[in-house]
Amino acid sequence: MKTMIGVIGGSGIYEMDGLKNAEWQTVSGPWGAPSDQILTGSLNGVDMAFLPRHGRGHVHSPTTVPYRANIDALKRIGVTDVISVSACGSLNAEMAPGEFVIVDQFIDRTFAREKSFFGDGCVAHVSVAHPTCPRLSDACETAATDTGIKVHRGGTYLAMEGPQFSSLAESKMYQSWGCDVIGMTNMPEAKLAREAELCYASVAMITDFDCWHPDHGAVDVADVIRTLTQNAGKARSLISKLPNLLGAERAPCPHECDRALEFAIMTAPEKRDPAVLAKLDAIAGRVLS
């Protein structure tokens, strides 16, 4: 199998120097249109795909990002490994603005989003005990270190609905739960990637200390954008190193991310809705065929 790295990111993350045969592709699927066209090409002999999570020009809020369509589109064009790059606030005094965190756990506090490809007509229960891929996270950590980025390996990401930032009481509560960073976009993205049997790694770029820090006060959007711009350059450098680390040939994932649906589908074959199965062709075709 050939490796294809899919990067889901914000402004400045979907453009890459040295990308060969770069082309914006329109990808359609049964879950609606993804956030934007997908930029495809190759970097150092490895196929790449870049999807702007909010759309170019930032037209989707965290709540209205079409998460299912995004993951389906990436799987449909052959992506094997998804790197999520996103801005976040820090709830941990040891993780400062300008630094990166390779997230390994999530607490999902979103409530206004569709969170699964499955439901009536085809029920499935996928484990997200370990929602990120250690193999892919290893590559991201190595790439960050080689780039000179200060990176923290491991951290819990609190996914909030947004679009407002936290109240002080909320920020302190999430901190008391042991959360390290807070953002609005990694859920249900990580859950859907697991359902699609895609390896998923989350690179969280810290822009601020949320509002809990006594020396920093409330989140200042101007400061966030300034740090975000600086982080985008670091992220592009990190991504540029991934093709050499992951290689062009893709072996089965040793952590079985690519076999997450093996025993997940509960609905008896004769009770499955053909219309639902048709929508799952890219996501679950391996186990439904």
* Model confidence pLDDT, tens digit, residues 170-219: 999 999 999 999 999 999 999 999 999 999 999 999 988 877 666 655 55
Mean pLDDT of the chain: 94
Give domain 4-288's CATH number out of 3.40.630.30, 3.40.190.10, 3.30.499.10, 3.40.50.1580.
Answer: 3.40.50.1580
Q: pTM to 2 decimals?
A: 0.95
* pLDDT at residue 217 in the model: 57
CA atoms within 13 A on the CB side of 81: 31
* pLDDT at residue 213 in the model: 66
* pLDDT at residue 276 in the model: 97
Looking at the DSSP bridge assignments, the partners of residue 103 are 202
Contact 70, 190 (CB under 8 A): no
Residue with tokens 């990401």: 157
Residue in 100, 139, 102, 133 with CA at minimum distance from that of residue 244: 139
Q: Which residues of the chain have pLDDT under 50?
A: none
Element (H, E) at 230: helix 221-246
53: tokens are 């999570």
Residue in 201, 165, 199 with CA at minimum distance from that of residue 183: 165
Going by C-beta distance under 8 Å and a sequence separation of 6 or more, which residues neighbour residue 82? Answer: 6, 7, 8, 71, 74, 193, 198, 199, 200, 201
* Model confidence pLDDT, tens digit, residues 126-141: 999 999 999 999 999 9
* pLDDT at residue 10 in the model: 76
* pLDDT at residue 219 in the model: 55
Which residues have a catalytic role annotated? Answer: 208, 210
